[in-house]
Chain A
Amino acid sequence: MHQLTIRELAKGLRDKSFSSVELTQHYLDRIQTLDSAYNSYITVTADQALAQAKAADERIAQGDDSVLCGVPMAHKDIFCTDGIKTSCGSKMLDNFVPPYNATVVENFNRLGAVSLGKTNMDEFAMGSTNESSFYGAVKNPWDTSRVPGGSSGGSAAAVAALLTPAATATDTGGSIRQPASLCGVTGLKPTYGRVSRWGMIAFASSLDQGGPIARNAEDCAIMMQAMASFDSKDSTSMDHPIEDYSALLDKPLAGLRIGVPKEYFGEGLNPQVAEKIQAAIKQFEAMGATIKDITLPHNSLAVPAYYVIAPAECSANLSRFDGVRYGHRCENPADLMDLYKRSRSEGFGEEVKRRILVGTYALSAGYYDAYYSKAQKVRRLIKQDFMNAFEEVDVIMGPTATSTAYELGSLNKDPVSMYLEDIYTTATNLAGLPGISIPCGFVDGLPVGLQVTANYWREGQLLNLAHQYQQETDHHRQTAPNVA
């Protein structure tokens, strides 16, 4: 059952090949048996999942035709779940049980999807390796001595290990696409404003966006259909028409104009990865697309700008974790200042503290213009680069990451080199554009991901071209060793 895609599971549930309760139990058993090797879940909600499955079986018996009804999935532990611990990968929220659901969670509940649990993640989504989680590092299913990427490493690893058919995730600077790339799965980062941020614990509000990770584009389309919604509770949610993503999947690619920025193939890119990317682009050409060399002249400024704006926003977003109302509080505080200092020092991990400090510095009197203001100017230039490119091409292709998955512990000692790994992904967030990572081959047995960026609101186009590519290739059908 765990080899089946969402589309196939929906069919099986209606054919009565299996019930949702059986299917859910199967996945719960797999998690129980296998996840100790990957650590992809923080919380498994077996009782709730089985109750949801039972309810879904009843709905299906009454003719419910929603594709996700009765289908198991998992939520990144950044999405608030009513009555279920939502830790955001942090000791700070190890005791936090929200009394409300994120809009994304509501959307899935309404459709009758079954939530298996909450997936592991970098603490407060800060990290590219999933090693900053309070609950320990997630291991890459393709090689458990390697990282799964981050921050949605738990979601990507759980999908790659067939411990869930699909999972929600979030992407602030690459946190969906990069782990999707490193784990050999498909991950979509939607246009900023497409998916509600209500109940999604904020890292950097102007960059955060929820999206799906699944085994292929077709399943991502189903997940995305559930996630996309206008939400009056989120002022940055946009009331823009929502496409029928599944209906767009079969559109032929003839005439698709692909831009390939020279900046994506410079120093730092693993040559073997580069080869796989070039081969994938060739494949698109063979499918009827035209290829054009383009330039994104300010791309090299994306990482520095990102690492000012994201920490600046996070320095304020994380001020609410003060030990006063919820979350970690130190023992026997001597006074108010002691309460603040110790609660926050004990509750936050090293990477989170580093970013709060960087952001606080960037916003300080005397430094604001040099850092925050300048970074915002760069952000406009980066957006303009993309707008110029989209005058000539429909989508932009390149690598998602500079290499395949790194060894655990190899990057987290040196934050700057870890930040530089985000060179291909952060610009998309700064511009608010949609992007996808698609498996496009293997180097030494480790997956490589192709990143495609499209214009605003073109999630349908990204899923369409990914699906068409997946009709011609089988990289996405490969499964990690020891998971079948």
Chain B
Amino acid sequence: MQWETVIGLEVHVQLATKTKIFSGASTAFGAEPNTQACAIDLAMPGTLPVVNEQAYRYAIMFGLAIDAEIGKRSFFERKNYFYPDLPKGYQTTQLEQPIVGAGQVELNLSEGRTKTVRIHHAHLEEDAGKSLHEDFHGMSGIDLNRAGTPLIEIVSEPDMSNAEEAVAFAKKLHSIVTSLGICDGEMSQGSMRFDVNVSVRPKGQEELGTRTETKNLNSFKFMEEAILLEVERQIDVLENGGEIVQETRLYNGDTKVARSMRSKEEANDYRYFPCPDLLPVELDDTYIDAIRNDMPELPEARCERFKAEYQLSDYDADILSGDMAMAAYFEAATKACGDAKLVANWVMGDLASKLNTEELSISQSKVNAEQLAGVISRIKDDTISSKIAKDVFEGIWNGEGDSADAVIEARGLKQVSDTGALEQMADEVISNSQKQVDNYRNADPDKRPKMLGYFVGQIMKASKGQANPKAINEILLKKLDELL
């Protein structure tokens, strides 16, 4: 049987506000446990929430970026359940009237295909704390630093039909929220987390199959793996005459194994009701327009600008503009060295592959934009060859020096353009290669330029790659022609 996959996403995006959504405590990542939780975050008796206006502004910015209707009247509700990392015993979130209504995003897929994914809505809510189940002598530790961090939860329609589209959608959201500056986009720190709803149905069937939800995926790679695995599992179950159970699942990216967390029957009755401690928020057009007029550049606009301003190809512009951190890196390096094409090649080539190997994001790159620009500048002024440049890049990456010049100096990689030294090397190679010189001499003149390669190679070898290839060519030609 032919199967069709239906995928919808719920995406939690941590907003980059300085303080929490309902308290003045800091949201900075990585502090000692429970040092960034105030009386409100701890749900001490008598404390009350006050909404962070910046969180609201960020949510509105997202809504405007996806062309959604902005809730003129929105309010918070309480979602009730007990868990130790949820201090109040309820999560303050939005349900009936969220801040962002229906919208849409456009995806660029492989082979030039495009797709529109509809957004059902996006709402504001608070994050919970963290339960730490290790290193507490059989007990659990609670870290409430994250409790009350503002989130928007973006809920898509089930418009995606394979892992590629789901990943493209996730990346597009990443691109939008980082371009807007409303999220730092640091997936490894949990700044964006994905819940994936997957179901399959026989091709052509209208009715949706039973879905499962795989929660809390925090990388594009894990998301892709989890979807592929789940689709395969569901088809397998159905083809063996089984039924899909509606359930919440967890995927472990390290072991590549997914398991059921709880079934629908075990689901909580969350008893949502409007939070009486917070009044509804009413917005007028002036307020929304002021935000609209102050919006930063969005990915599409940036892509067009990259093509116009840096003469990049469609492909290069799309890649480089898609990720905010990458775009910023590209522009900073280009500004510093003045060669957009070379920077583009490096960023998408050596840098990307290095980041990929070490599983780092571009903001964690061990070679920053200025350093890369330094490497490129030394290629352009003939201090080093493109080949040596890769070694210099490697050297900076490994911490051998904090600039191209420092690594070139330390490793002694400066290109040899000194004619005297090169002539001496050429003479040595020629006198040690009598057979090749004879061949050269006897060859058809048209074929001689190709035969030059051998001599160039010998000199490069002798100079450990530091000889200036252009200069060697000239010298060799002159010397070999003298022997004719």
A236 in contact with B279 given A100-B39, A320-B88 (CB within 8 Å)? yes
> B78: CB under 8 A from chain A?
yes
How many A-B pairs have beta carbons closer than 8 Å: the answer is 96
- Answer whether A336 and B84 are a contact pair too, CB < 8 Å, given A205-B277, A360-B271, A363-B271: yes
24 contacts between A and B (CB under 8 A): A79-B46, A93-B45, A98-B46, A100-B44, A197-B48, A198-B47, A202-B277, A205-B276, A206-B276, A233-B48, A236-B277, A316-B78, A316-B90, A316-B271, A319-B88, A320-B43, A320-B88, A325-B87, A326-B45, A336-B84, A363-B272, A364-B269, A368-B271, A368-B273
Docked pose: A372 CA to B49 CA in angstroms: 23
Taking a contact as CB atoms under 8 Å apart, the answer to whether B80 and A235 are in contact is no
Nearest CB of chain B from residue A94's CB, rounded to whole Å: 13
User: Is the C-beta of A201 less than 8 angstroms from some C-beta in chain B?
Assistant: yes
Cβ-defined contact, A198 with B271, below 8 A: no
A370 to chain B, nearest CB (A): 14
Shortest C-beta distance, B212 to chain A (Å), equals: 22
Chain B residues positioned under 8 Å from A407 (CB to CB): none
**Chain B, 355-390, contact with A by CB distance < 8 Å: what is the 0/1 string?**
000000000000000000000000000000000000
Say whether B50 faces chain A, with CB atoms less than 8 Å apart: yes
List 19 additional A-B contacts (Cβ < 8 Å) besides A204-B276, A233-B48.
A86-B45, A88-B45, A99-B39, A100-B39, A199-B46, A201-B46, A202-B46, A235-B49, A235-B278, A236-B276, A236-B277, A312-B273, A316-B78, A320-B43, A322-B84, A326-B44, A360-B271, A363-B271, A364-B271
Is A80 at the interface (CB under 8 A from chain B)?
yes
B51 near A235 (CB under 8 angstroms)? yes
From B42, B269, B278, B279, contact of A325 by CB (8 A): B42
In the assembled complex, the CB of A104 is this many whole angstroms from the nearest CB of chain B, namely: 10
Q: How many whole Å from B265's CB to the nearest CB in chain A?
A: 13
Most buried by A among B44, B50, B82: B44
Does B102 interact with chain A (Cβ within 8 Å)?
no
A201 touches B39 (CB 8 A): no
User: Given the complex of chains A and B, what is the CA–CA distance between A98 and B45 in angstroms?
Assistant: 8
B291-314: CB near A (< 8 Å → 1, else 0) gives 000000000000000000000000
Q: How far is the CB of A180 from chain B (nearest CB, A)?
A: 23
With beta carbons under 8 angstroms apart, the residue of B44, B51, B80, B87 that contacts A316 is B80
Is A418 positioned at the interface, with any CB of B under 8 Å from its CB?
Answer: no
Chain B nearest Cβ from A121, distance in angstroms: 14
Chain A nearest CB from B268 CB (Å) reads 10
> Across the interface, do B279 and A363 meet the contact criterion of CB distance under 8 Å?
no
A96 contacts B277, CB within 8 Å? no
Residue A234 interfacial (CB < 8 Å): yes
* Complex CA distance for A98 and B39, rounded to whole angstroms: 10
B33 within 8 Å of A (CB atoms): no
Determine the chain A residues whose CB is within 8 A of the CB of B250 once the complex forms. none
Smallest beta-carbon distance A249→chain B, Å: 32
B89 at the interface (CB under 8 A from A): yes
Given the complex, which residues of B lie within 8 Å of A287, measured CB to CB? none
* Cβ proximity bits A177-209 to B, threshold 8 Å, 1 near / 0 not: 000000000000000000001111110111000
Contact A372 B43 (CB under 8 A): no
Complex CA–CA separation, A360 to B81 (angstroms)? 11
Q: Which residues of chain B are near A247, meaning CB under 8 Å? A: none
Instruction: Return B22 CB to nearest CB of chain A, in Å.
Output: 9
Query: Is A102 in the interface zone, CB < 8 Å from B?
Result: yes
A73 to B238, CA, bound (A): 73
Confirm or deny: A484 has a beta carbon within 8 angstroms of a beta carbon on chain B: no
Q: Which residues of B contact A99 (CB under 8 A)?
A: 39
Known: A320-B89, A324-B142. A80 touches B45 (CB 8 A): yes
Chain A residues in 8 Å Cβ range of B88: 316, 319-320
Q: Are B46 and A80 in contact (CB under 8 A)?
A: yes
**Of the residues A232, A313, A320, contact of B87 by C-beta under 8 Å:** A320
Q: Which DSSP category, helix, strand, loop or mixed, fits chain A's interface?
A: loop
List chain B residues, Cβ under 8 A from A235. Answer: 48-51, 277-279
A442 at the interface (CB under 8 A from B): no
CB neighbors of B among A303-327 (8 A): 312-313, 315-316, 319-322, 324-326
| B→A interface (CB under 8 Å) | 39, 42-51, 78, 80, 82, 84, 87-90, 142, 269, 271-273, 276-279
Q: Which of B43, B51, B88, B273 counts the most chain A CB atoms within 10 A?
A: B273
A319-B82, A319-B90, A320-B89 known; A198 vs B276 contact (CB < 8 Å) = no
Say yes or no for A365: interface residue by CB 8 A criterion.
yes
Contact bitstring A206-239, B, C-beta under 8 A = 1, else 0: 1000000000000000000000000011111000
Query: What does DSSP make chain B's interface, helix, strand, loop or mixed?
Result: loop
Of B48, B51, B89, the most chain A CB neighbours within 10 A belong to B48
**What residues of B have a CB within 8 angstroms of the CB of A319 in the complex?**
80, 82, 88-90
Q: How far is the CA of A319 from the CA of B88 in the complex (A)?
A: 6
CB-CB under 8 A from A406, the residues of chain B are none
Considering the chains assembled together, what is the distance between the CA atoms of A253 and B116 in angstroms?
A: 70
Q: Check B45 against A320 for contact (C-beta < 8 Å).
A: yes
A340 proximal to B (CB < 8 A): yes
Query: Distance (Å) between the CB of B274 and the closest chain A CB?
Result: 9
Nearest residue (CB) in A for B82 is A340
Shortest CB–CB separation between residue A280 and chain B, in angstroms? Answer: 35
Asked if B45 and A363 sit within 8 Å, CB to CB, the answer is no
Q: Contacts of B46 on A, CB cut-off 8 Å?
A: 79-80, 86, 98, 100, 102, 197-202
Closest to A313 in B: B276
Closest 3 A/B residue pairs (Cβ): A319-B89, A206-B276, A205-B276
Which of A96, A200, A204, A325 has the most chain B CB atoms closer than 10 A to its own CB?
A325
Q: Are A201 and B45 touching (Cβ within 8 A)?
A: yes
Q: Nearest Cβ distance between residue A312 and chain B, in whole angstroms? A: 6
Cβ of B42: which chain A residues have Cβ within 8 Å of it? 325
Please give, as numbers and ranges, the residues of chain A lying within 8 Å of B48 by CB-CB distance.
Answer: 197-198, 233-235
Chain B contacts of A204 at CB under 8 A? 276
Name the interface residues of A345-391: CB closer than 8 Å to any CB of B. 360, 363-365, 368, 372
User: How many angstroms from the CA of A198 to the CA of B273 in the assembled complex?
Assistant: 21
A27 to chain B, nearest CB (A): 26
Chain A residue nearest to B38 (CB atoms) is A100
**What residues on B are CB-neighbors of A98 within 8 Å?**
44-46
Q: Which residues of A contact B278 (CB under 8 A)?
A: 235
Complex Cα–Cα for A232 and B48 (A)? 10
Report B-chain residues with C-beta under 8 Å of the C-beta of A206: 276
Contact call B273/A316, Cβ cutoff below 8 A? yes
The answer for the CA separation of A319 and B42 in the assembled complex, in Å, is 13
Q: How far is the CA of A298 from the CA of B35 in the complex (A)?
A: 51
Residue of A79, A324, A336, A360 contacting most chain B CB atoms (<10 Å): A324
- Chain B residues with CB under 8 Å of A360's CB are 271
Q: Which of B42, B49, B269, B272 has the most CB of A within 10 A?
A: B269
Chain A residue nearest in CB terms to B88: A320
A73-102 CB mask vs B (1 if < 8 Å, else 0) is 000000110000010100001001011101
Q: Are B45 and A322 touching (Cβ within 8 A)?
A: no
Interface centre among A205, A312, A319 (most CB of B within 10 A): A319
| Most chain A Cβ neighbours within 10 Å, of B51, B78, B142, B272 | B78
